[in-house]
Structure 1
């Protein structure tokens, strides 16, 4: 059957259908063709990222002795004659081992740029919320590799800390909370439910029944005090404490910024040095509040420092208006994502930082930027390493193992 005969046959079938069914079929055909075109464009972008001098390059050994090696699932495969490894167009990109279609990825990135929540993304894309969350984390991990690579600061730089709640969302290990953190998970529970939680964690709670909380306990009753503290420890501590992550932020007048999770509680000179290193040019000026940690960092690195005295808003031409405005925008973006588990916070801070740098661009332009990065070679975590990981900041000895 040639093209003309096929067209006439399809036309005859469509005209024989009721008008409503005809429009439904045409709409589905249009969507299918659009998805097919999107997939073809995406695969071509991924393929071009592996081409140098019009020759395919092996992403594993860098050899150009690459030949075609059949097709799998409709996609072209390649074989490297040097290392004898095979690979596909999406190898080493954001879409490697992904079952989502190109059209779904396109919509997912648009929704991430618009700061939609995980549940909203899952609902709009008709996917499971765990699938949505996993791929959002992949996007954040990718952006983390592109963060803080603008070079050094060359103008007036304002620096300050932004505090973010410590979260162990998703952690179900009772012994971790009781014996490592020394507190209960912060969920609404009755006293009997808290006692049951302790018993499930292997704690002997029989002494609680004989404790009068209004009386002074003898010094020998350390276990009783410990149990009472576990039961009563629910609210976040006031002020700067180990319940907060100090996020080091820097903003200059060229719209460059840095957003780095540094440590729990109050920041020190060591944390600032580890985060900023030698990011300042010789003629740069660092503007901070009166925190002594910045004085130590500036002195050790020969940086001109201007500190705003406590209780004042400015010092001559210097102030912290830009970094305070940046903190306000970070809070607005974070409001949409709520509080994420702290083991993933570095990726989300990279997402916040990237969004702020491109805040004047349209959603379409920002989506294209992310797609271009996604089609290039990046390093992503494997699914088997998705759950447990080290916290990406100094926990000051509180948590030393993957969570």
Structure 2
């Protein structure tokens, strides 16, 4: 399937913004949705909208079958050992908070260490800050190399016998850095720590195998991988999940409720209190079908080519700084000298080009970069080199505009 055929599967791309053809370069924030995903969600609401697990009527049975069928698709997609290890959440943020609450607060004590990096998204910083405050544990950071990568020697120096949790994003949403998760996890395990992975920016773009990574927890969101908003996944090793208490309580996750004591359902349902995100899970299943039909080798190669082309073209612009390593995922974060990133994004929007500007939920990394904010163009399977050219033209126009103003 060529790029133009792929683009036709995304209805939203066929529109104009401010009188210009839309150039959507903000997929790291949220991706667009193919028609097959939209139709899967629509089909649920039109044809068999019902709660799951609770009724024996036809619509309830159909909804339950589709919901649990989506769980099996996720299991195969990330190569989990069992559907018991696949928990549906509201997104990667909820998944990481679940680990920080149900695992960290239960098992950490004063003197223990949690290790993360300066590049983490706030969703992989704040839960650990709170867990450290609640337990007396210490939060430590693996230092970054000058180009925004992680050296294994620094991992080995930072992770000690007191380290109980190491939590690292697989791909940086700012730098595009692809972290050596498998190797970091090996260091963590050698010291007796668990390995938590924020896969929000990796899962949409590369094949993930949680058993090969040997991570203990893995979190990701549907909306960044062509799926609906408001749904995500927490993978956890069964042996660990079984020992954990739920983070939320209520209907659906119980086995027996008495006046003063209650017991929980087996995995994975003990972590899914209340009515789950049924349509979202079904939509995620459809997104997995879509992406696997395209093929992750194809997706990764396409994005790698686009990122390389974008860096090549943007490097020609005088006074423009690009952040991150040469080898990266499909995004480019940059600043134009003497032009605020919000102004860059505003001028580009006038040209129909959607990019992200701000701190990208990564303020510790902005501090490390010695900037307050940046502009970011992120690519996905539906973007083209022609769109990169429009981005560069827009950046040049922005630079010229502010040169004339000042």
TM-score under structure 2 length normalisation: 0.22
TM-score under structure 1 length normalisation: 0.22
